[in-house]
Amino acid sequence: MPIRVQSDLPALEILERENVFVMDETRALHQDIRPLKIILLNLMPLKEDTELQLIRSLSNTPLQVDLSFLTTATHEASHTSASHINKFYERYENIKHNKYDGMIITGAPIELLEFEEVDYWPELTEIFEWTKTHVTSTLFLCWGAQAGLYYFYGIQKVLMDKKLFGIFENRVMNRKTPLVRGYDDVFMAPHSRYTTIRKEDIEADDRLTILAESEEAGVSLVIAEDGKRIFSMGHPEYDRITLDKEYKRDLAKGLDIDMPKNYYPGDDPNNRPVLSWRAHANTLYSNWLNYYVYQVTPYEL
């Protein structure tokens, strides 16, 4: 898929080396195609890493995507330069009158806080409410998924005994649902979180359908209201070394952190991690764009 982004986005150089087709604004203007307008609310601290990961993830369909970035006005990013934020990101106040084909809301490393304790929670709930009328389909990731399930369906997250950290096997449910079309019976997915959602709480709401679950990681993929909202409890966008960076960062801080499961060959952190989830992650994003955005959204937004 040609991804349309600003021509000076730093991630472009890396993506071009990887042979990912990214189209800058100048070339896109010469094509008589209406691209899908996708907006990414990036709540992750390392925003440039997340931009790169998600552009990779969105690059595997023939659909053209016009990708823009959104940040919160009520929380100042401390791990990404202000110049990068100011140049490439919009605030909600400036885009709230727009309509979008799709939206992605990322996770954030704040799951130990109650939702109402998060400094940008009021702004986030305003954005959640706005998606009802201004976005065709929204994809929520990790903490973003837990926050969305809480806001829209009243489902509370639950603190686990220790951090769920690693690559976990998941089994597909409800195979006829287009979101998991093309999946194997079992697939791997990265998780990095301290909280979870109870399966019985999801099953108690007939607006929600579980599409995949894991014996170790619990419910991993949920769809709501014919794809208006999709919740992934893990991080399908993570690249090969994301968990490695997290693990070594926490060790350097002296934190009590277990080695990520099913990640390093021989459980040796000196070994290069095996990339075992990319194909199914690409399928997730491709199916979302095709079945729940492209085939549903009107030509004129």
Please list the active-site residues: 142, 235, 237
Query: What phi and psi, each to the nearest 5 degrees, are found at residue 109?
Result: -80, 55
CA–CA separation, 117 and 123 (whole Å):
12
Q: Which DSSP helix (H) or strand (E) runs through 24?
A: strand 22-24
Residue length, the chain?
301
CB 188 within 8 A of CB 166: no
- Token couple for 201: 């709480």
- Token couple for 64: 């053209």
Positive or negative, the CA dihedral 106, 107, 109, 112 is: positive
Residue 142: CB partners within 8 Å, gap ≥ 6?
A: 106, 107, 108, 191, 192, 193, 232, 233, 234, 235
Residue 219: CB partners within 8 Å, gap ≥ 6?
A: 196, 197, 199, 202, 210, 212, 213, 233
